[in-house]
Amino acid sequence: MKTRITYFLEDRAQEAFIRALVARIAREEGREVASDVRSARGGSQVLAQLKRFAGSVAKSASAGPAFDILVVAIDGNCHTRAKRVREIMGVMRGTGLESQTVCCVPDPHIERWYCLDEGALRRAVPCDIRVRAPEYKCDKAFYKKLLGDALAPVRSLMGGAEYGEAIVAEMDLDVATNRTRRPSGLPEFVDDMRRHLR
């Protein structure tokens, strides 16, 4: 039986990377997944949309939710992972969906995750690119520009999102989730997904 996963995401870059990462983790855990994206263009409205969605699911609780796992992704935007998790779980409190919710907080932004394993990025993109991201930079556009500049030779039309699946497939998760560098939120998400899929 497939594990049903519903996603609440902020943008296309999150959708491409996070769905591919969850699919990879599921394969590694010997699980099949069915995915449903409910909010891929929410931006700053993702929490308000999540609240409406959780409320409607809670009202129809007798039938049970149409998912086994709810992945909610919100960029850290220079706030701590703990703060973002509190915001997400604050919305989920009292819905009966708390135990099914997995918080995904790319810190500071999802574009940093695209760059965490430089080798994977080079193998996934069909040309010679160079990217060397600093350990951490809290600037709204920094990682977006870094990724865009690295992908300039291929004229990326989606800011790198079109390579999300390929990058995840090439990633060495030990390199990308290295806990000795400035927190990225990736190790915690990978660990949480593995726990929920077991």
Residues 64 and 71 sit within 8 Å (Cβ to Cβ):
no
CA–centroid distance for 197 within its chain: 16
Residue whose C-alpha is closest to residue 33's, from 86, 71, 83: 71
pLDDT per residue over 169-182, tens digit each? 999 998 888 866 66
Q: Can you count the helices (H) and strands (E) in the chain?
A: 9, 4
Gap between the Cα atoms of 92 and 51, Å rounded: 7
Element (H, E) at 37: strand 33-39
- 148 backbone φψ class: left, alpha, beta (φ>0; ψ -120 to 50): alpha
- Give the 3-state DSSP-derived string for 126-182, with helices as H, strands as E and coil as C: CCCCCCCCCCCCCCCCHHHHHHHHHCHHHCCCCCCHHHHHHHHHHCCHHHHCCCCCC
- Which residues on adjacent β-strands are paired with residue 33? 3
Whose CA is closest to 147, among 163, 131, 165? Answer: 131
Q: Provide Rg for the chain, Cα atoms.
A: 17
Give the residue numbers spanning the domain of 180.
1-198
Write down the pTM of the prediction. Answer: 0.92
pLDDT at 27: 97
- Measured CA to CA, the distance from residue 29 to residue 73 in angstroms comes to 21
Domain count, the chain: 1
pLDDT confidence band for 42 (50 / 70 / 90): low
pLDDT in tens, 87-141: 999 999 999 999 999 999 999 999 999 998 888 998 998 778 877 766 788 887 8
Cis peptide leading into 183, omega within 30 of 0?
Answer: no
- Residue 172: Cβ within 10 Å count: 12
- What is the rounded CA–CA span in Å between residue 77 and residue 121? 23
